[in-house]
Amino acid sequence: MAVVCSVLLVPDGRPAGERPEEGFVRLFDGKSLKDWDGDPRLWTVRDGAIVGSSDGHKVDQNTFLIYREPFADFVLRLEVRLRNGNSGIQFRSRQVAGDGWVVHGYQADLSDAGDRSAWGNFYEEKGRGRSMMATPDEGWLQAKDIVRVNDWNDYEILAQGDRVRLTLNGKVTFDGRDSQAASGIIAIQLHSGAPMQVECRNIRIKLLRDSAGAEQ
């Protein structure tokens, strides 16, 4: 079933002189959290990036900044920088009923934990964890040599039908199939535990077509 987007998305914007990416539109205007929803104590915009920080605010359970519009088949691209801790980009997910900004569903994982880091992994928040991969560190084994620690990393998520492909800094870290979710929301994770910070910028999406040829 096609998902009709009611939100007016602005064209993908890049610095003057750069060629725009065909078919992509921005989900973040670089100036505000318009169309995003999360704990206002934890999420701000700074220097053209969404900043999630638990400095000075204890987080008892994973919390998320949620883009309210659901998407089905798409390519999502963004730049992400992790100061420390554990984060992730949710997609085809749903918000859990109740208080707070809690999300269940697919995640393009990222964490800095030495040899146990999670960059490049395909994960299911509040679900099957890492079990959709061939091994619990399948994505990380591909990503470990290309992660830019404490710097900006390019993440791409392709979701089309039951196919999920994650690409980090130009390298595919996971390419597989899972039919658990066909559409849902996009969100950014701020992990519970020790104070941490994650930043995201240049968030843009390209809607794909379903098997019947209808735009999602």
The predicted pLDDT at position 6 comes to 41
- Whole-number pLDDT of residue 158: 98
The residue count for the chain: 216
pLDDT tens, position by position, 73-87: 999 999 999 999 999
Tell me if 64 sits within 8 A of 38, measured CB to CB.
Answer: yes
> Residue 99: which pLDDT band, with cuts at 50, 70 and 90?
confident
- Going from N- to C-terminal start, the domains of the chain cover 23-207
For the domain spanning 23-207, the CATH number is 2.60.120.560
DSSP string, 85-142: SEEEEEEEEEEPSSSS--EEEEEEEEE--GGG--TT-EEEETTTBTTTSSSTTHHHHH
pLDDT in tens, 175-207: 999 999 999 999 999 999 999 999 999 999 999
Q: Name the pTM for this structure.
A: 0.88
Q: What percent of the chain has pLDDT over 70?
A: 88
